[in-house]
Amino acid sequence: MTPPLVQTRGLSLGYDDHAVVDHVDLTIEAGEVIALLGPNGSGKSTLVRGLFGLVPRLGGSIELCGVEQSQFTEHTRIGYVPQRHSLAQAVRSTVAEIVAAGRLPHRPWWRPASADDRQRVAAAIDLVGLGDRAHAEVSTLSGGQQRRTLIARALAGDPDLLVMDEPTAGVDHANQLVLADVIARLAANGTAMLVVTHELDVLAGVVTRIVCLDGGHIDFDGDPEAYAAHLAEADHPHIHGGHHHDHDHAAGGH
Amino acid sequence: MLALDFMRQALLAAVLVGIAAPLIGIFLVQRQMSLIGDGIGHVALAGVAAGFLTSTEPLLTALIAAVLAAVAVELIRLRGRTGGDLALAVMFYGGIALGVVLVSLSPSGTPANLTAYLFGSLLTTSSNDLYVFAALTAVVSLVTFVLRPRFFAVAQDEEYSRASGLPVAAYNIALSVLTAMTVVVSMRIIGLLLISALMILPNATGQLLGRSFAATSRWAVAIGVFSAIVGVTASFYGGTPSGATIVLVAIAAFLLASAISMVSVRRARAAHAKAERHLHEHGPDCGHAAIAHGDHVDYLHDGHRHAAHDDHWDEHADGAHR
């Protein structure tokens, strides 16, 4: 049996003994599309960044494709789409130039990009619907188009799992729909996804599982139907002895 | 001029610096560390002076000092503490002050000697030295060229690069060391105080002319080479110092490019019609018919054509093309 794409056990992440993520057990199997919900400050970004070793680990284990994170070398199997507000920099660059970075882990440092690399970069750009903007300068693109550029960069590496940190935040509705469409297309191709989001409704129908973080703990993990039931329950705390949840609901905010 | 063997070598050395400096400088601009080459140059002066004092080849001692400074810069940045900026200031000013004091103590050190390193002096450079400089510059250019995609990725998004397993710190140190080498091998031609200008200015010009990172870099190298050739020629006939002349040519190129780009931006703005504001995002499968139009795609929207322009949509009439 193939090992899960991600498996954390008792994972704690944070800085200087202050745990932002506390004893989290999370397993991601091939083909799953997981929405990671939770209020601001609940540790969502810390958790996904921690999976890549970008946040100091205070305890617990992370296995990526069955390999301990610090020993993991098949970096291209797990694509990262960080949260970025703007891709503009001191020097101009194009969509294709940024997406090309997604191919770098596939080849040794001295080898230039091959025709295959270029073809995969073009395919990734097409997949996110930016085919006609491949050579546009990124600073001229809208926020949503810049997010799709980052998704294409991760896709160019041909990952089994895509980890996205708030791809829909701060993007207008038209662009959110395009993003949702891209995510649905990836899901149909069998790419597993872990999507940090506040806008669950945009992804409804694609998401197979919902995980809620609150205060660094997982306090819900189940399918969308169970989540709806869980919300209904949480909305009537008096029935359940004052057990109170403070989720970021599908509506996106409080 | 070219009949003189010496001037041929000088021109060759200057052209190689004209290639190497902008090639590496673009990453400094990208990382918003444009002045770092200048600081490393200050420290290299201490190395030159140490060479005078100990009767060692100043090129070697300067190279050691500059490379050590370059590694220190990256280590200070890596620790990311507040006060890193001040640590750099202490190191850079310490370098130049120490250099001046050491030169005054050494028997062979004279103010004229110092000036030759600070501002460059082709005439006092032996042809043997020029060959060494040229060879080192070629090596720097080659390594930078090969590592270009990785330097770009690391400077563009350090966190993503780390997540995808690139040895980010190693690339940053490599870039810093290549910067130090460029500074030192150019010191006799451009000068320690002016070399940073040749790393940065052609890229500032390239920015105005190129629409991508690759195009910016190509323009920058072209302008670097152009400045080197025109600068060395002018300094030969005018009897002016080579480094400063090359830098002035680079500045003239920048001013000219600024003027040209200002005029062309104004023209483009005058000749273009924005589509009605709309909430729809056109794309390959948005449902609107896509029509190839010159170098881009128009989308047929309620009987008129919309074309992507920056973050909005333009009206493109049939046949008309902005």
Look up residue B125 and give its two tokens: 């450079």
Instruction: Look at B212 and A105 and tell me if their CB atoms are within 8 Å.
Output: no
**ipTM here:** 0.89
Is the residue at A99 inside a domain? yes
A101: left (phi over 0), alpha (psi -120 to 50) or beta: alpha
Which chain A residues contact residue B214 at CB under 8 A?
A: 97
Q: Tell me how close the Cα of B41 comes to any Cα of chain A, in angstroms.
A: 23
d(CA B241, CA B231): 9
Q: How far is B192 from chain A (nearest CA, A)?
A: 25
pLDDT mean over A89-104: 94
- Tell me yes or no: is domain B5-196 CATH 1.10.3720.10: no
DSSP character string of A160-198? SEEEEESTTTT--HHHHHHHHHHHHHHHHTT-EEEEE-S
Q: Using CA atoms, how far apart are residues B185 and A209, in angstroms rounded to an integer?
A: 59
CB within 8 Å: B150 and A104: yes
Q: Is residue A252 part of a domain?
A: no
Is A208 within the bounds of a domain? yes
CB B122 within 8 A of CB B235: yes
Nearest Cα residue to B201 out of B158, B146, B257 = B257
Whole-angstrom CA distances from B70 to B56, B174, B237 are 21, 9, 36
The first and second tokens of residue B65, run together, are: 């000092």
**Residue A168 is part of which domain span?**
6-240
Beta carbons of B163 and A140 less than 8 Å apart? no
* Beta-carbon-side half-sphere exposure of residue B101 (alpha carbons within 13 Å): 7
Confidence label for B80 from pLDDT (cuts 50, 70 and 90)? confident
Contact A92 B213 (CB under 8 A): yes
Asked if residue A247 belongs to a domain, the reply is no
Instruction: Show residues of chain B in contact with A129, CB under 8 Å.
Output: 283-285
Nearest to B15 by CA among B140, B137, B122, B125: B137
CB proximity B30 to A under 8 Å? yes
Does a structural domain hold residue A167? yes
CB contact under 8 A, B162 and A172: no
Query: For all residues of chain A together, what is the average pLDDT?
Result: 89
Q: Which of residues 81-100 of B touch A (CB under 8 A)?
A: none
pLDDT tens digits, A46-74: 999 999 999 999 999 999 999 999 999 99
Asked whether B47 and B58 are in contact (CB, 8 A), the reply is yes
DSSP B259: H
Nearest CB partner across the interface for B164, out of A104, A110, A132: A104
Q: Token pair 């128009």 is at which residue?
A: B298
Query: Residue B295's pLDDT is what?
Result: 66
CB contact at 8 A, A96 and A89:
no
Q: Average pLDDT for residues A117-139, to the nearest whole number? A: 94
Number of folded domains that form chain A: 1
Using an 8 Å CB-CB cutoff, list chain A residues near B281.
Answer: 142, 144, 174-175, 177-178
Q: Nearest CA to A210 among A173, A254, A247?
A: A247
Residue A90's domain is classified under what CATH number?
Answer: 3.40.50.300
Q: Does residue A51 lie within any of the structural domains? A: yes
Within-domain flag for A137: yes
Query: Could you read off the pLDDT of B111-127 as tens digits, one per residue?
Result: 777 888 898 887 777 77
Q: Where do the CATH 1.10.3470.10 domains begin and end in chain B? A: 5-196
**How far is CA A201 from its chain centroid?**
16
Which element (helix H / strand E) includes A241? Answer: none
